[in-house]
Structure 1
Amino acid sequence: MPKAYAYTRYGGPGAEAFIDVDRPAPGRGELLVAVRAAGVNPIDWKLRSGFRRPGDTGTPEFPVVFGSEAAGVVEEVGEGVTGFAIGDAVFGNTVAGGYAEYAVLPASVTAQVPDGLSFTDAAVLPVAAATAYDGIRGLDLPAGATVLITGAGGGVGVAAVQLARAFGLSVVGTAGEGKKDFVEGLGAVHVPSGPDLAARVRAAAPGGIDGVYDLVGGDVLTEAATLLADRSKLISAGASPQDVERLGGSRVVRARTAAVLDEVARLVERGDLDPRVTETFPLERAGAALRAVEGGHARGKIVIEVGA
C-alpha cells in the first residue's frame, strides 16, 4: 500500500507516524498525482500541535497526512478537469496532504511545471512563494517605494524579499543576527530582530517606510505599524485578522489560483525568484524534515523528495 507521513492526534513529534493508505481517487475537478516532492512549512507542525486556521471547526478525522503543497506527475484526471493529461508534470496545493507517495490536487490551484524547473523547486511555490506574491501585490506600492518585510529569513520572507526587489521596491528585512548575510544576499537591508525594532528600522531607512509585509505578528507587528503614516499599507500573514485590523491593517488576501502559480513559476524562469531550497530529505526521513522547520532556524525552504 502507498505510504504517507501523518499525525495521529494533536501533540508533539510523538504524534507523528508513517501509515499505509489506500491509493486516493480524484473527485470532480481534481487530479491524482504521483508525488515527486513536497514542501515543508511551519503550518504543518502547527496543525499537528492543534492550531486551527481561521474558520476551522470541529476535530479532524485522524490520522491526518502532513503537507499542503506538492509537485509530481498526473496519474488520473478527475471528472470535469480540462487542461491536464496523464503524464503531465504539475505542482499545486493538496487536498489532503503531500507527504505521501500519492496526493490529490484541485485543478483550480494546480499549474504545469515549466521546462527546466525541477520538481523540488516547484514543490515550494504554492504556499510560501504564492503567499509572498499575494502580499507584495496586495500592498500595491509603486516602483522605488520602500517596504519592510518582517521575518525576512523564513520561507515566505525569502520569496517576499526577492519578489519585492523584482517589482522595483527597496527592501528592509528583519531577521535574527545569524541570518544577516543571508538576508543581505537576497538584496535587502538587514535589521536585527528584537526590542526597539522600530528605532533600528528608522535608522536603516531614513527616507521612511511606505509599506509593511508582516510575517511574524505579535510585538514585531505592533512596532512595525508605528512606522507607517498610512496603515492601509500594513499587510500581515503572521497575525490573526483581529490583531492586524486593530492596528489599521489587514490580513493578506490569498488568491489561491492556478494563474498565480503560473506567474510565480514564470518569475522563477526569468531568474527573478530563486526558491532557495536549502535542504532535502527522503520521505523516509519526513520527521527530520519537520524538525528542521519546527526548530525555527531553517534558512530558505526544506523539501521532502518522493519517488523516482
Structure 2
Amino acid sequence: MPQAYVFTEHGGPEVEAFIDLPPVSPGPGQLLVAVRAAGVNPVDWKLRNGYRRPGSAPAELPAVLGSEAAGVVEAVGPGVEGFAVGDAVFGSTLTGGYAQYTLLPVEVTAHKPDALSFTDAAALPVAAATAYDAVNQVGLAPGATLLITGAGGGVGVAATQIARGFGLRVIGTASAGKKEFVESLGAVHVPSGPDLAGRVRAVAPDGVDAVLDLVGGAALQAVAELVEDRTKLISAADKGTVPQLGGAAVVRLRTAAVLDEVAKLVVAGTLRPYVTRTFPLERADEALRAMEDGHAQGKIVIEVGP
C-alpha cells in the first residue's frame, strides 16, 4: 500500500506518523500523480497545529502533510483535458504531498518543462507562485523600489529574484546572518529588529514605492510609514493588520497559468528555486522540523520517487 506522512489529530510533532493508505482514483478535474518530490512549507505545520485556510473545511484525519508536489501522472479523472498518463507535472495538492501518490486539481497543475527538475518544480507552487502574484499585485514600473520584509525565507527569496527580473530595486530585510545570502539575490540587505524603519530610511531616504510584507506584526507596522501610497502596502503574513494600515493582503490567483509563468522564469534563469536541503520520504519528520524551527534558508524538499 502507498506510504504517506500524516498528522492524526491537531497538535505538535507528536501527532505525526507514517501510515499506509489505500489506493485512490482521481475524480472529475483531478490527476492521480506518482510523487517524485514534495515541497515543505510553514503552512504544513500550521495546518497540523489546527490552522484553517479561510473558507476551507476542517481537515479529514488522518491528513497527509504537504501542499505542493511534482511527479508523473498515473491516472486522469473524468472530463480532464490536456493531461495524459505519463506526463510530468507539478502543482498544488488536494491530498497532501508527503506521500508516494497524491491528487492534483487540474486548475492548479502545470506541465513540468524538461529543463526543470522534479525537485525544483516541487518548490514552486506555494512560495514562488505567491511571490509572483505579490510582485505583480504591487504593479511597479522598472526602476521603482520595493521593500520586502523577510527576504531570506521561501517567498522572500523568490519575490526578490522576480522583482529584480522585472527591473525593480529591492531592499530586503532579514537577520544579520542572512546578509550575504540576501545580497547574492541582488537586494540591499537591511537587518531586521528594532528601529527597522530607521535602517531602511538610511538606504532609502525618500521612502519606498511599495512594501511586500512576509513577516507581519511589529515589522509590518514599522515599515508601513515608508510607503506613501498605502495601496502599495501588501502582506502575505498578516491579513488582519494590513487593512488597518490602509493596505491589502496578497491576492493568490492559484492558477495553472501562474505556475507556467513561474516555470518559464526558472528555465530562463531569472528565478532560482534555491532548494537548500532535501530529505527522503522516510525522513519527512526531519524535513518538517527543519522548516518548523524558523531558520530555514531557501526551500526544503522531500524527494519521494526514483
Which TM class, normalised by the smaller chain length? over 0.9
Corresponding position of 1:76:
75
Deviation at 1:61, TM superposition (A): 2.0
Corresponding position of 1:198:
197
Q: What does 1:255-274 align with in structure 2 at a 5 Å threshold? A: 255-274=253-272
Deviations 1:139-195 (A, max 9, x none): 000110000000100000000000000000000001111111110100000011101
Match of 2:250 among 249, 252, 261: 252
1:34 maps onto 2:67 in alignment: no
Corresponding position of 1:126:
125
Corresponding position of 1:166:
165
Corresponding position of 1:296:
294
- C-alpha separation in 1, matches of 2:60 and 2:83: 30
Corresponding position of 2:99:
100
Classify the secondary structure of the residue corresponding to 1:9.
Answer: coil
Deviation at 1:16, TM superposition (A): 0.4
Letter in 1 for 2:10: Y
- C-alpha separation in 2, matches of 1:14 and 1:250: 36
Deviation at 1:207, TM superposition (A): 4.0
Deviations 1:245-282 (A, max 9, x none): 00000011101111000000000011000000001000
Deviation at 1:56, TM superposition (A): 3.6
Letter in 1 for 2:303: E
Unmatched segments (≥5 aa) in structure 1 = none
Classify the secondary structure of the residue corresponding to 1:203.
Answer: helix
Classify the secondary structure of the residue corresponding to 2:226.
Answer: coil
Q: 104-113 or 205-214, which moves further after superposition?
A: 205-214
Classify the secondary structure of the residue corresponding to 1:73.
Answer: strand
Corresponding position of 1:17:
17
Cα RMSD over matched residues?
Answer: 0.8
Letter in 1 for 2:227: L
Deviation at 1:224, TM superposition (A): 1.3
Aligned length: 306
Classify the secondary structure of the residue corresponding to 1:226.
Answer: helix
Unmatched segments (≥5 aa) in structure 2 = none
Corresponding position of 1:277:
275
1:2 maps onto 2:11 in alignment: no
Letter in 2 for 1:93: S
1:286 maps onto 2:277 in alignment: no
Deviation at 1:55, TM superposition (A): 2.7
Corresponding position of 1:109:
108
Deviations 1:199-249 (A, max 9, x none): 000102224200000011100111111111110001100012x31100000
- C-alpha separation in 1, matches of 2:179 and 2:53: 31
1:219 maps onto 2:228 in alignment: no
Classify the secondary structure of the residue corresponding to 1:254.
Answer: coil
- C-alpha separation in 1, matches of 2:113 and 2:34: 17
User: TM-score by structure 2 length?
Assistant: 0.99
- C-alpha separation in 2, matches of 1:228 and 1:130: 24
Corresponding position of 1:145:
144
Corresponding position of 2:304:
306
- C-alpha separation in 2, matches of 1:263 and 1:225: 30
- C-alpha separation in 1, matches of 2:25 and 2:94: 11
Letter in 1 for 2:51: F
- C-alpha separation in 2, matches of 1:95 and 1:152: 28
Letter in 2 for 1:273: L
Deviation at 1:62, TM superposition (A): 1.0
Q: Percent identity?
A: 69
- C-alpha separation in 2, matches of 1:54 and 1:191: 32
- C-alpha separation in 2, matches of 1:200 and 1:47: 35
Corresponding position of 2:43:
43
Classify the secondary structure of the residue corresponding to 1:190.
Answer: strand
- C-alpha separation in 1, matches of 2:132 and 2:29: 25
Deviation at 1:25, TM superposition (A): 1.1
